[in-house]
Amino acid sequence: MRGFLNIDKPIGITSFDVVRAIRRASGVKRVGHAGTLDPLATGVLPVAIGDATRLIDGLVDARKAYRAEVTLGVETATDDAEAEHEATSRAPDETVAALTTAAIELALATFVGESMQLPPAFSAIKQAGQPAYRAARRGEPLELAPRPVVAHALRLIKRRGPVLVIEVECGKGYYVRALARDLGRALGVGGHVSALRRTRVGPFEAAQAVPLDVATEVLAASRAGLPAALDVLLHAPDAVLVGWPVIILDDVALSDVQMGRVVHPEPRPLSGVDTPPAVGLKARAYAADGALAAIAEHQGDWDWHPVRVFAPLEASASTPPEV
């Protein structure tokens, strides 16, 4: 069994709790997730099974989307509602109420694009092997350094008093909690995330996400040999590679790739690329039957080195490969 599950993570559990549940239901030990969601967050959590875990990096780097509820006027130690009863600062209600929607939108626009973002004190970022949240819980918060992040789009969807609903499209390493904190400070009133839902990670969207209990039920039934809609839930590993260039291997090249040898396909089929490829470009290599065989890296002069080789399996669900 290998592929990706698009799980709709419920509130109140960790991302690793989801991984643990999938392992238990499927009987597969090699399971991992692509991008941590906080316990109070819900939504899209891609989970890789089997050697699809080797493609998780492609999702970690993928664009993500969130729908966040930001409450102005209250700043918390965790930058979310987990510590709402222990607010680190509170602005007068009348000050928050006096903020115009235009002023909020103007402030929000300043966070679009590339910026240096200070991660929340309660985060999984490690320093000297120690997660920041553990130090923060001991009352000894680490001095974290700002990190480069990208917000592709930030949209104010609605406002209900001090509560804003914001849609966020961002790159890897982006903390929506930090955005809420920094937006609140820019407006002079403080702020925190009071609810958060991830709506997209790369090709996986919330509209198609499967509740965790449904996924574990199907996996357990499939493991027991009972009829189950596993094919509907399990996305082919190459689902996360759509848009990558494609190499089709003949039998000789396929054998070489499986042995880890450099290949020089002739003719040089490379869909998705109109000009000679740059050194270092990665492409997905398929057997003639459409099964994903490897991730290959161009070394120049049309030589391709397989950097990740996949065991033979039935043809990919995306056959013929989607460019």
What CATH number is associated with residue 269? 2.30.130.10
Say if residue 12 is in the same domain as residue 102.
no
Q: Which of 196, 182, 191, 194 is nearest to 117 (CA)?
A: 182
Listed residue (71, 81, 87) closest to 183, CA to CA: 71
Whether 321 maps to a domain, the answer reads no
For residue 176, being part of any structural domain is answered with: yes
**What's the CA gap between 3 and 15, in Å, rounded?**
18
Sequence-distant (≥ 6) Cβ neighbours of residue 222 within 8 angstroms: 26, 228, 230
For residue 123, give both structure tokens. 């985060």
Same domain, 223 and 289: no
**CATH number of the domain within which 36 lies:** 3.30.2350.10
Q: What is the pLDDT along the chain (323 residues), one digit of tens a residue?
A: 889 999 999 999 999 999 999 999 999 999 999 988 999 999 999 999 998 999 998 888 899 999 999 999 999 988 988 865 677 889 999 999 999 999 999 999 999 999 999 998 877 777 777 777 777 777 777 778 899 999 999 999 999 999 999 999 999 999 999 999 999 999 999 999 999 999 999 999 999 999 999 999 999 998 888 777 888 899 998 888 888 888 889 899 999 999 999 988 765 657 666 667 889 888 899 998 888 999 999 988 888 999 999 887 644 444 445 54
Last residue of a domain, one of 174, 201, 228: 201
- Residue 187 and residue 126 in one domain: yes
* Shared-domain flag, residues 250 and 300: yes
Maximum Cα–Cα distance for the chain, whole Å?
74
Co-location of 69 and 48 in the same domain: no
Q: For residue 224, tell me if it sits in a domain.
A: yes
Structural domain including 228 reads: 3-62+204-237
Q: Are residues 253 and 304 in the same domain?
A: yes
Does 222 lie in the same domain as 162? no
The verdict on residue 51 lying in a domain is yes
Q: Is residue 193 part of a domain?
A: yes
Asked if residue 316 is part of any domain, the answer here is no
Out of 38, 79, 182, 256, the active site residue is 38
Looking at 184, 217, 237, which one is the last position of a domain? 237
Amino acid letter at 14?
T
When divided into structural domains, the chain yields a total of 3
Res 122: pLDDT: 77
pLDDT of residue 315: 44
Residues 117 and 52 in one domain: no
In this structure, the answer to whether residues 73 and 197 fall within a common structural domain is: yes
Active site residue 38: yes
Contact status, residue 94 vs residue 139, Cβ threshold 8 Å: no
Q: 149 and 261 in one domain?
A: no
pLDDT of residue 269: 59
pLDDT at 104: 98
Distance in angstroms (rounded) separating the CA atoms of residues 2 and 215: 14
Same domain, 111 and 122: yes
Please report the DSSP string for 86-130 in residue order. Answer: GEEEE--HHHHHT--HHHHHHHHHTTSEEEEEPPPSSSS-EETTE
Is 251 found in the same domain as 211?
Answer: no
Query: 155 pairs with which residues across the strands?
Result: 167
Considering only CA atoms, give the Rg of the chain.
23
Task: Give the position of tokens 């115009």.
Answer: 100
Please say whether the beta carbons of 62 and 49 come within 8 A.
no
**Residue 93: strand, helix, or coil:** helix
Residue 138: its pLDDT value, please? 77
User: Of the residues 201, 228, 255, which one is the last residue of a structural domain?
Assistant: 201
